[in-house]
Structures are given as structure tokens and as C-alpha cells.
A and B are shown apart, each in its own frame.
Chain A
Amino acid sequence: MKLDPQEILKQLARTVEFGKINVQTPYPPEMKGQEGAAELTLKALESGLNPEAVLQRGLMPGMQAVGDKFSRGEAFIPNMLIAAKAMNAAMEHLRPLFEGGDMTYRGTLILGTVQGDMHDIGKNLVKMVMQGDGWKVLDLGVNVKGETFLQALKEHPDAVVGMSALLTTTMLFMEENIRILRNFRPDVRVFIGGAAVSSEFAESIHADGCFRDPHSFARSFH
């Protein structure tokens, strides 16, 4: 039975929300044996939907749903990672079509944990959520010096920059990094995150914002 494209997109969103990667994935139990994000993505394309529509109307609503639950305290980091994995399985089929010129990225995000800091769990989650939200993410890793952020910005001058720090000692590098980046490009937008930072701190160092969770960060650009 041929499914209506809208119904395919609706089911696709559910597979992302619950991390149903493909037909072999045994989770969630109520979807066992059903097609997953990988198969439904192909089905959506076969139904005539273009890759952008599949991403925006099938995959992103699924990530949005889990992000909304996260904001309400009904889902946590593992739920987001599980959804992101299903999203990535779907993107394996879409990415070649986008790289052929069909996709417009929402933007480019340069991302890193500041120098002296080795924590990366939060940064990695931001990367996954932002990629899922249609961003190109350049992950500079951990212990990233200001000059490295600057070099990345020189190569991608229209990018947004995201910096993470977990310690009250390492977050102090953020102010100097912002100064370095704005010397090159005064209008660059720089956002900060991590357990140590706060909105007050962000304001004091002239960051453009501070977000407690990656979903809020992604939504701020909508």
C-alpha cells in the first residue's frame, strides 16, 4: 500500500523522536519490526519529496519533539543522543544529495571547548543537535586556544562561534577569545555554554548569549 507523503513524514518524525534507526532496531518495543528512519527517508524521497522537505518536515520535527521534552524535563541527554543517531542514519541518505548542491545549511557553527579544559560531553551534544537542526558544524575539539578559533573564523568568516567551559578557571579565557575574534570581525556572534557560565557572565564578557541546553541554542536561531 502506497503511503501518502505526509503520512511518511509523520512516521519519519516519530522514528527520529524515539531513535528507531532502521527495521532491525528493536527499540522502542512498540515499533519493533517497523521501518525506521533510514527506510522511511528513502520512501519519502521515492514519493517525490525533495531532500530539503524530508529534512525540514520529517527529520527536524522529530528532533524538535525530543528537544521540547528535554526542555520540559521529560527527556534527558540519552534521549537526545538516541534521536540524533536515528537522524544521522537518515542523513546518510540525504547528505549526498545536499552536497550535490540541493541543501542550504542554516549556517556554520565553529565549536570548541576553551583552552585548559578537556570536557567535551556538552560540546558534543551541541554539535549533534545543531547538525540535526541543519547547521554545518566545525568541531575544533577541546583545549582550543583563541588563535585556533580565530583561524577557523578566518576560513569561515560568516560563522557563528560557540565556546564551552566547565571550570571557573577556564571560562576566563572566553573574554580574551571574544576580543581576539571581534578584532578580526567586529560583528561575529559568539555564544558560550557549560556548567561554569551564566547569563550574567556572558553579558559581562560581551558574548551574544549563554544557553543551558543545546536545544534552546538551536531554537534561538529559528
Chain B
Amino acid sequence: MTQNSFKDISLNAEALTPQPEAVLRAMGYRDTDIPGQLQDLLQPILTEALSHLRIRCAWQLFEPDELLFSRKMLRLREQDFHIQSIIASQIRSCDRIALFVCTLGPDFDDWIRSLNDASDTLPAYVADTVGSEWVENAADQLCAELQTSLNASGLKITNRFSPGYCGWSVKEQHALFSFFPPKICGITLTESALMQPLKSVSGLIGVGPEAVKKDYFCSICDAEDCYKRR
């Protein structure tokens, strides 16, 4: 698959450090008591995590003549993405698409594995949650960088959408990654479409003069058990 030129950048991990409150919310703590063991563990985990991070991301922008939008599908060159109606409705106003990947790097996975191998699983769980928040922050920063690069041309972006969510099959990770060089940002895909390193995010972003980014769109999706529904 021919690639357009793509941006491949490293991000400042420290600037993307999750807020402790966000990590606790991700674990479920909103109005309930937080165990002292957890409160005292969180900041040391956040601090140590920094030494295991090498955040990299990449995106590629596709022009209007490479795209065809329909009610449940996006055709990008000869590749059909069955994004389903929720995502399709969010990018309908766009005339361009960016595909992106983002990762915390392999050292973070190794660190969590080492915590899991020790007898105390709480630090491993906390580190795992911290990692999930961190990679989401990194993907948000990627979106900000993309928007900055488009400002001069008056183009705006939508929210980002990933395979495995909002009805878009995770199997289509393979199709998404086919638009990037092998091992883009050090990310590989297993046969079952699992990204490795595990703390990686990929997806698409709608781009166009009429693109709209929403604060919260979980209300229009029926996946009740999705961990992103907060």
C-alpha cells in the first residue's frame, strides 16, 4: 500500500502525566472512599512510570480524492473500513481523514510484567491503569498537534475513533496498519489484531472545514460495558 508522507513524532511524557484524580476515576472511584494503600501508591507509580516511557506517535492525512464516505463505511483508496453508523455520522461532515497510531513503548509493558511477577498485584494494576490514562493523553496530544498543523489551512478535526469501539470491528486494525510502514513507532499487530506494545492506540480522525469535535459522545453508543463510558 503506498503511503502518503506521514508525521512520526516523539512526545514529552512528563507533560502528559495523568492527574491522580483521573487515574482514580478510571478505577471507579468517584464518591467512594479511597483505600489508603492506593492513595499512597499512586504518586510513586506515576513517578516511576516516567522512566519506562518512550512515547511515539504518527499520523497520515488522506485527501478528498482518496476517500468515499457512506452511511456505515469509509473507503480509503481501495480499502473499505466498516466503521458503522456511529463513527460514520461523526465524520460525515469531513472531506479528509487522518489515520494515527500512538504508543507508550515496549519498556512500559516490561515494567508492568515485572510488577505482575512480584507477589503484590496492586502496583501492577495501578501501573496498568496509569498506562491506559497516559496513552489516552498521548493520543489527545497527537490530536492537538494535528490540529495545530492544520490551523493555517482552516481545517478542523473530529474526535478520534479506534477499531474495537463504537461498533468498528477490531479486525480492521490490520487494514489500518497497512497504510503505515511495518513496525510504525515500534508497534506490531498479532494475528488477532492485538497491538504490541499493549499500551498503544490507533484510529482515524475526521478532518475538514466543517469538522466538529464533541465533548462527550457515549450517549449515542449502545455499548453499556465499554470502559470508556464514564
Interface residues of A (CB under 8 A from B): 18-19, 26-29, 73-79, 81-82, 84-85, 88, 115-121, 124-125, 128, 167-170, 195, 212
Chain B residues with CB under 8 Å of A88's CB are 119
Specify which of B38, B128, B169 is in contact with A82 (CB 8 Å cutoff).
B38
Tell me, rounded to whole Å, the shortest Cβ–Cβ distance linking B78 to chain A: 23
In the assembled complex, which residues on chain A have CB atoms less than 8 Å from the CB atom of B32? Answer: 73-76
Closest partner residue, chain B, to A88 (CB atom): B119
A78, A116, A121: which contacts B38 (Cβ < 8 A)? Answer: A78
Complex Cα spacing A76 to B126, Å:
12
Q: How far is the CA of A78 from the CA of B126 in the complex (A)?
A: 8
In the complex with contacts A79-B35, A121-B125, A168-B169, A116-B27 CB distance below 8 A: no
A201 CB, nearest partner CB in chain B, Å: 12
Distance between Cα atoms of A169 and B190 in the complex (Å): 10
Q: In the complex, A185 Cα to B46 Cα: how many Å?
A: 47
Complex alpha-carbon distance, A195 and B38, angstroms? 24
A-B contact pairs, 23 of them (CB 8 A): A19-B37, A75-B32, A76-B27, A76-B29, A78-B35, A78-B37, A78-B38, A78-B122, A79-B35, A81-B121, A85-B122, A116-B190, A116-B192, A118-B194, A118-B198, A121-B125, A124-B116, A167-B192, A168-B164, A168-B169, A168-B171, A169-B192, A169-B194
The chain A residue with its CB closest to the CB of B128 is A121
Q: Is B9 an interface residue (CB 8 A)?
A: no
> Distance in Å from the Cβ of B92 to the closest Cβ of chain A?
25
- A78-B194 contact, Cβ under 8 Å, with A121-B128, A128-B121: no
Contact partners of B37 in chain A: CB under 8 A: 19, 27, 78, 82
Identify 18 new A-B residue pairs, CB closer than 8 A, beyond the known A82-B37, A118-B194.
A19-B35, A26-B36, A27-B37, A28-B36, A76-B27, A76-B29, A78-B35, A78-B37, A78-B122, A82-B38, A88-B119, A115-B192, A121-B125, A124-B121, A167-B164, A168-B164, A169-B193, A195-B225
Decide yes or no whether B141 CB sits under 8 A from chain A.
Answer: no
Using an 8 Å CB-CB cutoff, how does the interface string of B189-202 with A read, 1 for contact, 0 for none?
01111101010000
Given the complex, which residues of B lie within 8 Å of A120, measured CB to CB?
A: 116
* Chain A residues, Cβ within 8 Å of B126: 78
| Residues of chain B within 8 A of A168, CB atoms compared | 164, 169-171
Contact B194 A167 (CB under 8 A): yes
* Known A76-B27, A85-B120, A116-B192: A27·B125 in contact at CB below 8 Å: no
CA distance A222 to B38 in the complex (A): 31
Q: Is B192's CB under 8 angstroms from A81's CB?
A: no
Contact B121 A73 (CB under 8 A): no
**Contacts of B20 on A, CB cut-off 8 Å?**
none
- Taking CB atoms, residues of chain A closer than 8 Å to B181 are none
Task: Report the Cα distance A124→B120, complex, angstroms.
Answer: 11
Q: Is there an interface contact between B35 and A27, defined as CB atoms closer than 8 Å?
A: yes
Using A27-B36, A75-B32, A79-B35 as known contacts, say yes or no to A117 and B192 having CB atoms under 8 A apart. yes
